[in-house]
Amino acid sequence: MRLLAEAVESVDDSDGWLGQVGADLTDAHLDACRAALPAPEELARWLVGHAHGDVDDGLTDIDPLTYEEVLGEGGMAFLRKLAVGAWRGNRRGWAEKYLMERPAKAGGDVDAVIAVHAADLSPNGHAHLVIARELDATRRRDRGRELGGARH
């Protein structure tokens, strides 16, 4: 993946083939992890580093949740711990928010999703809208009005 990222610097990818190669590498990596069963904590560290662009500057799109069966319960808990630490260090970072939000959404933890967005309320109202949608989706509209300051 790192070599692909280096190649992007010197290759014309106007036809999008490198993106497809990145997707294929993503699939191959998951298959290799399923076969090799790496240490869960080591894989969790790698996945968090990958989300931060440490591996390939985002050329491959790896969702940590697709590794849940490989990580197991303990590895997922460690991944969440790393994600919380990264998020506490930078609550406005896209990767940090993503690493917090994905497992929270998958686990149905609406409060955690809301906390991620409430920590970075942008002036354009986007975060407020995301929070309202999350609350609306879980039928917690009264809490959404309370947070948004709307009057009944």
Q: What is the domain extent for residue 42?
A: 2-120
Whether 133 is covered by a domain: the verdict is no
Whether 43 is covered by a domain: the verdict is yes
Other Cβ atoms closer than 10 A to 135: 21
The residue with greater pLDDT, 141 or 57, is 57
Give the residue from 102, 111, 107 showing the smallest Cα distance to 140.
111
CA–CA distance, 97 with 87 (Å, rounded to integer):
7
**One-letter amino acid identity for 145?**
R
The distance between the two most distant Cα atoms of the chain, rounded to a whole number of Å, is: 58
107 three-state secondary structure:
coil
Give the residue from 105, 82, 106 showing the smallest Cα distance to 95.
82
Whether 145 is covered by a domain: the verdict is no
pLDDT band at 152 (very low <50, low <70, confident <90, very high): very low
Other Cβ atoms closer than 10 A to 9: 7
Whether 127 is covered by a domain: the verdict is no
Over the stretch 26-59, which tens digit does the pLDDT of each residue have?
999 999 999 999 999 999 999 998 888 866 666 6
Whether 18 is covered by a domain: the verdict is yes
CA–CA distance, 49 with 66 (Å, rounded to integer):
16
The structural domain count of the chain equals 1
Please give the model's pTM, rounded to 2 decimal places: 0.77
Task: Report the percent of the chain where pLDDT is more than 70.
Answer: 88
Whether 9 is covered by a domain: the verdict is yes
Over the stretch 82-125, which tens digit does the pLDDT of each residue have?
999 999 999 999 889 999 998 888 888 889 999 999 998 989 99
